[in-house]
Amino acid sequence: MKLETKVQLSKATFSLLALVTFVFLLGVLVFVLCVGLQINPFKQATSAFLLTAFIGLIGVVAVLVLFNVATNINLIADAKIAGLNIESSSHVLRRYGIVFLLTALLLVGLIFVGTYLSKERYIAVIRDQANEVLRENDNILEKTGALLASGDVADFKKLYEIREFLEHQRSGLPRLSIVYAGEFEGKLTLYKIGTNFHGNLEKNTYIPEYFECTKGLDCDYLRRFFSGEKVGILQQFTFRDDQYYIYIPHVGKGARFVLVFSRMNSYGKFGS
């Protein structure tokens, strides 16, 4: 093989190695952000593809390194490196660094913006489904208020059945809880109708389940509503752990209550 050909191969493999390393490092950045912050703006199929491509790049880098090293060793063996007119690559490395930094900043922005848009779109779909189910079952909501007001153990058992019925009216509808208010030693207390009934019909006993609100998220909202204030629908999501909340207040003839929809979501908006 001619010396000029070996030099061209060495330059070509180095340039390709730099490009692949550039892409690989960007992949590392995306991986660290998504895993470290527990966010994912990509859908399942896209996530699997990116992970496969990331692993493939490791193999490509290994092959290029071996080929480039072998070519340079061969050039050294020819003992003619000193006579070659090889231009300095410092400006090339500086250019690569600038491009890498700008691309990395763009990727970081896309990840955070994509995650935010993904959550906003998802929670809008869930809210539309929830509102549709509630419109179709308005009579059941009125009955719910009356059952809460009665305080009878058998009525509370019926409330758990209503909650389960409403939750399963759509395949994509998230977990549903019914939050209502009571009093404990003269203080407003929040309770919920969850997944399990804590009572005994034969003994006519019922143990209410507390609803633990979160400061800065829903505590003030729920206390204002149960104190008689008019409030709208509250929807929130946490950025890191993909938890979504939708609070839909309802003023029935017998009692006030809030339908709380929440859902864990692992994938985002971008990709397939």
What does the pLDDT look like over 159-213, one tens digit per residue? 999 999 998 888 877 888 999 998 888 888 999 998 889 888 888 888 889 998 8
The residue among 181, 92, 173, 87 whose CA lies nearest residue 137 is 173
pLDDT at 272 over 50: no
Which amino acid does the sequence have at 44? Q
- Considering the chain, what percentage of its residues have pLDDT values greater than 70? 67
- How far apart CA 200 and CA 74 sit, in angstroms, is 85
- How far apart CA 37 and CA 153 sit, in angstroms, is 44
> For the domain 127-264, what is the CATH code?
3.30.450
- Produce one character per residue of 122-132: b if its CB has 16 or more CB atoms within 10 Å, e if not: bbeebbebbee
- How far apart CA 16 and CA 149 sit, in angstroms, is 73
Average pLDDT score over residue span 54-67: 69
pLDDT at 268 over 70: no
The residue among 40, 52, 43, 53 whose CA lies nearest residue 111 is 40
pLDDT greater at residue 242 or residue 190: 190
pLDDT at 146 over 70: yes
Per-domain boundaries in the chain: 3-81, 127-264
pLDDT at 225 over 50: yes
Q: What is the per-residue pLDDT for 184?
A: 84
> Model-level pTM?
0.57
- 98-119 pLDDT per residue, tens: 876 888 788 788 877 877 787 7
Q: What is the per-residue pLDDT for 95?
A: 74
pLDDT at 31 over 70: yes
